Structures are given as structure tokens and as C-alpha cells.
């Protein structure tokens, strides 16, 4: 073990927010050892902005609770931790851990319980990567480095502590962490990890709860280097473990969304991690819609059912929380609304809670070459920049065009005998196909029959009468009520 001077590592208390110093000071004052450890130390040394600060101490969670009282909550069963609330921030305070006892590991070697308290040396070997195992005591101005982690930082190398196979077996999530840190820090993965990191080994992730995998997927999405990690997920066979039904192929749409997410994070903008799930699952969703449509299900119902199916399938791997699921389905549903809005609804649509996300999604689709958006992404983009008068003009122009394309659709339908669905107004997201079920076809022919018979009887309502044509314009999509579909 070497003790490094914090200043030599580029660390100073001035970089630290007061809340983490308060936690360290309170524990020290109560007679315990306390250090900052993990990503906070690593990122500060690398000159990055740490996401959070984690503390570690020789006080047990119960003792930490005694020090902080109501500001502290003990959480976790497999991995018991103290959460200390310092102002508006939360600091995770872990207790030094000793190696787990044999009895608490699963048949595949996975650690099921890990609450065996120990010394700092024992705690160090329990950590994942060397660069995550530096202990910083800011008041003493020292960093304890047990494994020349500082050299790995200098050489930009991600090295697991101990035998890599064993460490992955103990906790397969470390495979995800390997890719996350390699992408985030732009570090190379040590050869001894690369050697054993096979797609077969990623099968171990099947033992991880879909809740934990969802949390990890969120960390991948929000670390600021999503675009870099996506191909790595495919290369290392992780993609398949996280997104079983999404083909391992980074489409332009997915890539653009990833770049966009990273840029937003870089600019300090908020992102909703569920948005990227909406992007990833878009293709499976459309395919599922097609499936229902081909069975003759009406479009609104097809979309609702497809959304449910796709999210249910994804939950086998990562359980997306209910609120995020609702968000995803609303973003998808917004696609239909934004693509084919009723003129009188345009204004209220633009102030809808899900408008922004739905619009971003639509624009991303359009910019990725998806021409089914029919230029409506750009239309909405321009609309938002307009003054009230301009908006009114844009809406009436849109209305005229809409009417024109409707008329054209009906005329063409008669003249060129094209199917109406191919040329009606702005195409809905999901095209309504010719009904395939016998019952649907029957009901359609029924509704057409009286008109045809009138016509054949030589009545005034002829074959090309406008009423006839209007009736054939598909309308049911405008009846779709926006909102979380059941």
C-alpha cells in the first residue's frame, strides 16, 4: 500500500462540495475512520466532474445511523448501506466489507449476501476496478492506494482486482460496469479481462434481477458516452442480455438518438432515460403493430396492444418502471397525433405535457431518413418558432393542404382506382390496411352495398358522387384519444 499526497494527485478540499466534507467530518468526530472512495476520487483525479461522492467507514450501518440520526436511512439487504441526507444531497456511506462467507454465494458463485464487515484492506479487495479503489481522506490530505491504481489512471487502463473470471462470476453486473467505465473514461480494458470476456460469460447476466439490470441500463444511457458504448454492448454480447428482442444493429435512428443524448448531457440539459428505451423499442413496436393490423385489428387498438406486448417482452430483461412505461407509450402515441393533427387541435397539442418528447422523437426519426414522418417534424419545428399570427396562418395553410390532399385522394381513388389508404391526407403512423378478417371485410362490404345498389338502380347518387368519396376517406385515426392506452 502506498500513501499518496492528495495534492500530488491533483486533489484539494476546495473541489469538494461541503456536504461530503460534512459527512466525513461527522464520522471522524464520532471516532470513526472515513474516506471518500470510488468514482468521486477517480473522476477528480482525471479532471472530470464526479456524478456523486461515496463514503466508506469502519462504522457499521447502525453506528452510522447513531451519528446522523434521522438524516440516515439503512437500505439494502444483499448489500446493506447507510444513506445520509446532507442538505439536498444524498451520500452513500458503506461499511468496510470483508470477503463473503461461502454459505451466501449461489451455485454459480454469485454473491447473494455481502454484509460481512471487515478492515480497509479487506474492503479494498472487494472493490471492482483498481481505479475505483482509492481511499481519499480530504482532511488529512492523503490518498491510500493499495494496488498502484494511480498508474492505471495514468495509463488509462481498466483493471479488475483479482481474477477476472471469478470477479465476473461473483457479480456479473461487473461486465456492464467494465464497458461503462471503458466508454465513459475512454480507457482500454486490460488484456486479462478481454481474454475471458466472452459472449458465453455474459449468460451469467440471466441471474441478475431485471430491476437491477434496468438500473444499470439507465447508467449506460446517462453516462454521457452512450454512442460509444452501444457498439461495445454488441461486440461483447451484452446487448442480447439487455435487449433480447431488439436486433443488435445500430440504426441511424438509434445512433442519432444516442448522440443527441450525449450532447444533451454535455450541455447540462436534463434527459429522460426512458426516451432512449422508446427509441430502442420503436422498431419492435412497429413490427408488432403490423402484426395486429394484419389480423384486422383497428389501428388505435393495434398500437395499444403492440405497446403493451413490446414492453412486457422487454421486462423479461429489464423491468422498466410503470411511470417510464407510460412515458414511452405516450411518446409513441404522440407520433400518430403529430403526424396527422386536426387543425383545431394543433395549438393545444403543442402545449401538451408529452409534446416536447414526442416532437423530439419525431424529428429524430425524420432526420434519420424516416420518410413516413412526411416532413411533419420540420413542420412542428417551424411552428414552434412562429408568432401567434404566423401560427394561425400556418394552421390555415395546413388545413387547406389537408383538404386538398383529401380531395386529391378521393379523386385519384376514382380516376386511378388507387386504394384510398395510399393517398389520403398525411399518412397516419400506422397505415390501416385492407381488413383481412372476414368479419371486418363483411362489415365493409355491407356499408358499401346500399350505395352501390342505389347507383345501379339509376339513383341520383352516382358512382363518383362526392358523398360517396367522402365516406371512403378513412377517419377513425382522428378519433384516437391521446393518453396512456390500456
Interaction between residue 128 and ligand ATP (CB under 6 A):
yes
Catalytic residue status for 25: no
Cβ-based nearer residue to ligand ATP, 48 or 244? 48
Cβ-based nearer residue to ligand ATP, 52 or 440? 52
Q: How far is CA 188 from CA 154, 185, 217, 270, in A?
A: 12, 9, 21, 29
Q: How far is the CB of 36 from ligand ATP (least distance, A)?
A: 10
For CA atoms 119, 121, 127, 133, the dihedral sign is positive
Pick the stretch among 30-38, 261-269, 339-347, 459-467 that binds Mg ion (CB under 5 A). Answer: 30-38
Interaction between residue 127 and ligand ATP (CB under 6 A):
yes
Measured at CB, which residue is nearest to ligand ATP?
Answer: 39
Backbone angles phi, psi at 296, to 5 degrees: 90, 10
Structure-derived torsion over alpha carbons of residues 157, 160, 162, 163, reported in degrees to the nearest 10:
-100
Distance between CA atoms of residues 407 and 39, nearest Å: 62
Catalytic residue status for 54: yes
Considering 43, 54, 145, 413, which one is annotated as catalytic? Answer: 54
Q: Which does 130 bind (CB under 5 to 8 A by kind): ligand ATP, Mg ion, none?
A: none
Cell numbers for 283? 422498431
DSSP H or E segment with residue 454: helix 438-456
Interaction between residue 38 and ligand ATP (CB under 6 A):
yes
Q: Which does 173 bind (CB under 5 to 8 A by kind): Mg ion, ligand ATP, none?
A: ligand ATP
Residues 155-214 binding ligand ATP (CB under 6 A) are 171, 173-174
Distance between CA atoms of residues 259 and 195, nearest Å: 30
Considering 43, 123, 128, 152, which one is annotated as catalytic? Answer: 128
Distance between CA atoms of residues 125 and 163, nearest Å: 11
Distance between CA atoms of residues 247 and 333, nearest Å: 23
Catalytic residue status for 235: no
Interaction between residue 36 and ligand ATP (CB under 6 A):
no
Cβ-based nearer residue to Mg ion, 92 or 262? 92
Cell numbers for 313? 417482452
Interaction between residue 80 and ligand ATP (CB under 6 A):
no
DSSP letter string, 91-128: EEEEEPBPPPPGGGB-TTS-BS----B--HHHHHHHSS
Interacting residue with Mg ion among 35, 39, 80, 124 (CB under 5 A):
39
**Where along the sequence are the contacts to ligand ATP (CB under 6 A)?**
38-39, 51-52, 54, 127-128, 132-133, 171, 173-174, 219
Indicate which residues carry an active-site annotation: 52, 54, 128
Amino acid at each position: 500500500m502506498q500513501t499518496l499526497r492528495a495534492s500530488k494527485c491533483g486533489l484539494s478540499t476546495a473541489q469538494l462540495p461541503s456536504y461530503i466534507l460534512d459527512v466525513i467530518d461527522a464520522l471522524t468526530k464520532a471516532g470513526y475512520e472515513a474516506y471518500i472512495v470510488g468514482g468521486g476520487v477517480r473522476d477528480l483525479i482525471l479532471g472530470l466532474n464526479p456524478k456523486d461522492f461515496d463514503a466508506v467507514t469502519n462504522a457499521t450501518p447502525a453506528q452510522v445511523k447513531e451519528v446522523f440520526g434521522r438524516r440516515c436511512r439503512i437500505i439494502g439487504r444483499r448489500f446493506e448501506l447507510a444513506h445520509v441526507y446532507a442538505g439536498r444531497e444524498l451520500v452513500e456511506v458503506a461499511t468496510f466489507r470483508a470477503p463473503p462467507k461461502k454459505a451466501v454465494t449461489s451455485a454459480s458463485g454469485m454473491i447473494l449476501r455481502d454484509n460481512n464487515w471487515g478492515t480497509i484492506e479487506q474492503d479494498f479487495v472487494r472493490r471492482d476496478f483498481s481505479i475505483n479503489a482509492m481511499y481519499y481522506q480530504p482532511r488529512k490530505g492523503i490518498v491510500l492506494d493499495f494496488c498502484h491504481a494511480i498508474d492505471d489512471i495514468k495509463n488509462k487502463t481498466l483493471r479488475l482486482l483479482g481474477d477476472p473470471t471469478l470477479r465476473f462470476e461473483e457479480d456479473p453486473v461487473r461486465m456492464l460496469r467494465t464497458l461503462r467505465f471503458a466508454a465513459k473514461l475512454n480507457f482500454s480494458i486490460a488484456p486479462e479481462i478481454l481474454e475471458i470476456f466472452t459472449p458465453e460469460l455474459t449468460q451469467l447476466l440471466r441471474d441478475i434481477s431485471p430491476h437491477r439490470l434496468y438500473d444499470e441500463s439507465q447508467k449506460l444511457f446517462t453516462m454521457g458516452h452512450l454512442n460509444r458504448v452501444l457498439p461495445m454492448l454488441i461486440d461483447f454480447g451484452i446487448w442480447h442480455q439487455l435487449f433480447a428482442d431488439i436486433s443488435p444493429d445500430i440504426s441511424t435512428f438509434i445512433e442519432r438518438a444516442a448522440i443527441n443524448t450525449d450532447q444533451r448531457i454535455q450541455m447540462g440539459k436534463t434527459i429522460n432515460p426512458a426516451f432512449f428505451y422508446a427509441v430502442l423499442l420503436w422498431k419492435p413496436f412497429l413490427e408488432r403493430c403490423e402484426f395486429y393490423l394484419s389480423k384486422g385489428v383497428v389501428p388505435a387498438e393495434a398500437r395499444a396492444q403492440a405497446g403493451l406486448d413490446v414492453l412486457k417482452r422487454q421486462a423479461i430483461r429489464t423491468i422498466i418502471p410503470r411511470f417510464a412505461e407510460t412515458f414511452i407509450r405516450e411518446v409513441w402515441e404522440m407520433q400518430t397525433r403529430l403526424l396527422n393533427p386536426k387543425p383545431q387541435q394543433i395549438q393545444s397539442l403543442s402545449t401538451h405535457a408529452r409534446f416536447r418528447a414526442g416532437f423530439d422523437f419525431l424529428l429524430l426519426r425524420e432526420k434519420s431518413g424516416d420518410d413516413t414522418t412526411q416532413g411533419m417534424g420540420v413542420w412542428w419545428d417551424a411552428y414552434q418558432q412562429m408568432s401567434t399570427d404566423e401560427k394561425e396562418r400556418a394552421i390555415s395553410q395546413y388545413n387547406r393542404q389537408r383538404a386538398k390532399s383529401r380531395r386529391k385522394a378521393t379523386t385519384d381513388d376514382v380516376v386511378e382506382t388507387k386504394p384510398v389508404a395510399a393517398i389520403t391526407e398525411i399518412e397516419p403512423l400506422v397505415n390501416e390496411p385492407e381488413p383481412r378478417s372476414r368479419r371486418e371485410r363483411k362489415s365493409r362490404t355491407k356499408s358499401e352495398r346500399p350505395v352501390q345498389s342505389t347507383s345501379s338502380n339509376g339513383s341520383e347518387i352516382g358512382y363518383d358522387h362526392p358523398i360517396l368519396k367522402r365516406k371512403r376517406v378513412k377517419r377513425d385515426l382522428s378519433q384516437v384519444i391521446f393518453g396512456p392506452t390500456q
